[in-house]
Chain A
C-alpha cells in the first residue's frame, strides 16, 4: 500500500482523474446488453401467478387447464420447490413460490413457461388456486395485537421477528444528569428503490445438468449459493453471470423469485427460460426501506455536549425476513456516529406484516435514525440558543475516535465537511433571517464503508482479484464485484492502472461472473471500493514484484528501488534506468510463463482487548462523512415544498474518480429528497395501492434542486489509495437537512415522512397566528 506522506502529497497519474467510464459508451449507443435484452435459441417466456390475498392458506392449486394449453411447456408450484432460503442463511423463510400460505398481495403462487408472453399470461389465468383467507395485518401494531394469527407459524405465537437490545454506558444516569433532554416520536414510510431496470433472469441448463443464470443481481455469490441450495445441485454446476445491470440500490441485493423459477422451469423443460418482472412485480417483490416508528431521547449538557441517546424502534418488516435483522443492527450502530456519544441504548423490534418485505436500501439502517437525530439536534441547539452548526461541530468525531460500540474511526474529516458546507452555502448568514416561507437547514452524517462479517460462517477473504497481464490482451482484471451502474468496474480498472503504472485504457475489467471471476461477497454496505479495491491493488503489486525481478536484472538495479510509472519500470533514484513495461512483461512471460497474480482482502479484526466490536454487525474498516445544507421554499397557498438548492461537502477519502463520486452524491441527494417529500408505498385495505411509477412518484428532472457538491480533501490510510464510500453516506443527511429548512421556513417540525402538501397545509392551519 502506498503510504500517505500528507493529505495532499500524491501525484497520481490515474487515481483522482475524472475519466469517462468505458461502459458509458455502449450504454450511450444502446449496445449495452441487459438481461432482458438477451435471447437464446428456443427460449421460453416465464411468468408468475400472484396472490390476490394478503394472508391466506392455499387449499389447492389446479394447474391442469394451464398445462393443457397449447404452447405451455411447464407449470411450477411452490411444493415442487420446497427448499427455503434467505439472505440470512441461518434463518431461511422464503421459497421460490409460496408453499402452503400466502403472506402478501402479489406473492407468487405458481409459475409457467410458455412459447410466448401471451400464452404464458393466458396460462396464468387458467391456474385455479383455492384460498382460505386469514386476517391480514398491515401495520406492526395490528400484527402485535393479542390473538393475531402468526404470519409465520414457526414463530412462537406472535409476529415478532426479532427483538434487539444494546446498551453502552449508563444511559439512565447520563440522561438524568443532562442539562437538557429532548424526547420525541418519529415515523418513516416505506420507500422503494425504483431502479429503472426491472428484475430479469435467464436460465439455461445444458446436457450435463449445468445451470447458467444471467441475472440482474447485485449479489452473484449469494445468488450462486442460493441456487445450489434451492435447486439441490452443487455450486460447481452453476454459473451466475451478470450482464449490464440497470441499478439496484439494495433492491437486487437478495435472491428474487424470478431467478429461482426461471432455473426450475429451465430444468424441467430443457429449454432456456427468461422471466422479467413487470414494474408492478418490482413493487410486490420490494425489499425497500423499512417503515420505522422511533421513540428517542437525546440528552446534552449545558454546553450542548451530547451525553446520551436512548433509541427505541418498531420496524415494519413486511412478510418475510430479508435483510431485516441486519438493517436493525445497522440502525443500532448508526447511533454512535458521526458524533461522540458516550452512552447509547438501542431497543428494536422487527415485526411481520402482510405486505411486501422490507430489506436493504441505499444507506440501510441509517436514513431513518439520521432523519430523527439531526432534526432533534437542530431543535436542541436552538433551545440552547446555539447555532445547530456550532452544536454539531462541538460533538463531531475526529480521526482516531473509538465509539462506545468499540468501533474505531481511523480517519474523519467530518468537521471540515461541516465547516466547508456552512461557508459555501452561507448558512450562518441565512438561517433565521429568511422571509417566512423560505428556509435553510443543515444536517450531517456518516456511513460505514465495508462490512466485517459474511452472512454465513466463513473465514475466506471477502474479496479477491486475479490480474493477468500479457502482450496480446493487455491487462485483464478479474474480480467478483458487481457493477450495478455505480461504476465499480471503472474503480477497479483505475486502481489496477495506477498500481501498474499503465494507462487506464490498457486495462480491461471482467467482473460479476462466478465462472471466471474469483470470489467476492457482492455489492452492498458500501464495501466494493474498499474491499475489492484492496484485492485488486494487492494483485497489481504482486504483478509489479514479478516484473521488477525481470527489470532489476536487465537494468542492473535492485528490485526494491524500482517503481512502475507511465508505462515504464524505472529506478526511483535514477530515472534513466528504465525499461518499457510491456518489454518487461514479454521478458517475464518468455522466461517464466503466464504473468498472473492474485490479491485478496478480509476486513481487519481489531478486537485486541477481547471486547465485542460494532455490536452485531461488527466494525467497518472505514467511515465516510458528509454534511449538507438544504434551502427550501414552502408555498403557503398549496403547501408544496420546493427544494431550491442543496450544498454538500463530503469526505469520501481520496476520490478514485471524482465524476463518479459527484454522480453518487447527486443521485443520493435527489433520491433522499423523494423520500422526504413524496415517495411512499401506500398500503390500504389489504394491499399496496400504488405499485407503479405513476402513483409512486420519484423525483423527475423538474423536481431537482440546484446541487453544489464538494469533495473534501481526505485520505484514509485504511483504504486502497485512501478511498472510502460515497454512495450511501450522502443520502443520510438529505431528509433532515430539508426538514430543518422547512422549520426555518415556517416554524413547523415534521416528525412523519413524507412531508406532503396536505401535511404542510394542515400544520400551517394549526399554527398559532404570530
Chain B
C-alpha cells in the first residue's frame, strides 16, 4: 500500500509517495534526487549511505522510508551553506582525505555527528565512532587528520569558510 509521507531533507519539506518496503536511501536518491548519499553494500556494512536523522547518524540502506514520517534528515548536500563549505568538507579536501570519494559523504556525516558530541576528538574517539564507515582508498590516516583539524577549527570558532 503506497503512502504519502513528508520528509524534511536539509531543511526543505518534501512529500513523497512510498511503498512500505522502500528504503530511505532509495527515496533520497531516486525520488528526492539527492545522489550524494551512496549505496555501497545495501546491507549496513559499509556506511556509505549514512545520513543524519534528527542529528544522529543512521544507515539509510537499513531504514524504511515509511518510518521517517516528518523527520529531519540531513544529507551531504545540506552541509555547504550559503556557498561555503562546512569545515569538515574543507579539511577533507585540504588534507587529501578524499580519493575515490565514494565513502566521503557518509564519512563526513558520521564525523559531523561525532564532532557534535565530542567537539575536540582525539584519534581514539574517532577510531571508536567511525568504525562503521569503510574506506578502501585512504588507509584512514588523512581522514583522522581532517576530522581533528575540523574539530579544532570548530573549537576556535571555525576555520575560515571558503566559497565554493
Contact = CB atoms under 8 A, between A and B. Distances in A.
A486 interface: yes
B116 interface: no
Interface string B36-78: 1111111111101000000000000000000000000001110
A247 B137 contact: yes
A309 interface: no
B42 A33 contact: no
A698 B146 CA distance: 22
Interface string A432-466: 00000000000000000000000000000000000
B41 A692 contact: yes
A662 B143 CA distance: 13
Contact of B134 (A36, A37, A700, A707): A700
A140 B98 CA distance: 40
A35 to B, nearest CB: 11
A29 B100 contact: no
A40 to B, nearest CB: 13
B101 A485 contact: yes
B79 interface: yes
B43 A662 contact: no
Contact of A700 (B34, B131, B141, B144): B131
Given A198-B40, A701-B126, A244 B139 contact: no
A367 to B, nearest CB: 16
Contacts of B102: 34, 195-197, 246-247, 485
Contact of A701 (B36, B43, B76, B143): B143
Given A693-B134, A701-B144, A702-B127, A28 B139 contact: no
Contacts of A694: 43-45
B141 A28 contact: no
B152 interface: no
Contacts of B104: 27-28
Contact of B89 (A28, A39, A278, A671): A28
Interface in A662-676: 662-663, 665-671
B93 A196 contact: no
A670 B139 contact: yes
A195 B136 contact: yes
Interface in A1-42: 18, 20-21, 23-25, 27-34, 36-37, 39
Interface string A209-223: 000000000000000
Contacts of A152: none
Nearest to B94: A20
Contacts of B115: none
Given A30-B77, A30-B105, A669-B139, A663 B99 contact: yes
A670 B38 contact: no
A660 interface: yes
A487 interface: yes
A390 B109 CA distance: 48
Contacts of A273: none
A702 B42 CA distance: 22
A245 interface: yes
Interface string B129-164: 011111111111111100000000000000000001
A659 B139 CA distance: 13
A29 B36 contact: yes
B85 interface: yes
B126 to A, nearest CB: 7
Main secondary structure of the interface of B (DSSP, over half): loop
Given A29-B76, A29-B77, A249 B136 contact: yes
A24 B99 CA distance: 7
A247 B77 CA distance: 22
A461 B104 CA distance: 36
Contact of B164 (A25, A667, A669): A25
Most chain A CB atoms below 10 A, which of B44, B85, B98, B127: B98
A528 interface: no
B18 interface: no
A23 to B, nearest CB: 7
A671 B138 CA distance: 9
Interface in B73-99: 75-77, 79-80, 85, 89, 92-96, 98-99
A735 interface: no
Contact of A196 (B30, B75, B136, B141): B136
Nearest to A193: B136
A284 B92 CA distance: 33
A27 B98 contact: yes
Given A246-B101, A669-B139, 5 more contacts: A28-B92, A29-B76, A195-B100, A662-B142, A693-B134
15 contacts: A20-B93, A21-B96, A24-B93, A30-B36, A34-B35, A194-B134, A196-B103, A196-B134, A245-B100, A279-B45, A666-B141, A671-B136, A700-B131, A701-B140, A702-B127
- 10 smallest beta-carbon distances between A and B, as pairs: A30-B36, A485-B100, A27-B101, A246-B102, A666-B139, A30-B76, A37-B35, A670-B139, A659-B96, A693-B45
